Amino acid sequence: MNGTLYLNPRQASDREPTAWENEFADVIEAAFASGVRELDALVAALALSRVRPREGGAWTIERFTSTLAELGA
């Protein structure tokens, strides 16, 4: 290490995030910024947003956690 500190939040990814992924992250960040700390409240914030699950339908805890697992793969 050359002494320069930096943060690379996407260091495990080999591509840029899609527009959908950016919008998904924006909703999550806004929810945390507004004080949301519980999973059910986070899913509720997603349900109120314009971001829908990729496969359609409504946000559920199961769909949210499977989406996170998919994005982290």
Q: What is the pLDDT of residues 33-65, one digit of tens each?
A: 999 999 999 999 999 999 999 999 999 999 999
Cα dihedral 72→51→38→10 (10° resolution)? 30
Confidence of residue 24 (pLDDT cuts 50, 70, 90): very high
Confidence check: pLDDT of 1 > 60? no
Note down the domain range covering 42. Answer: 19-72
- Residue 50 domain flag: yes
- Residue 14 domain flag: no
- Residue 63 domain flag: yes
- Residue 5 domain flag: no
Q: Which two tokens stand for residue 68?
A: 């996170």
- Residue 53 domain flag: yes
- Residue 9 domain flag: no
* Domain total in the chain: 1
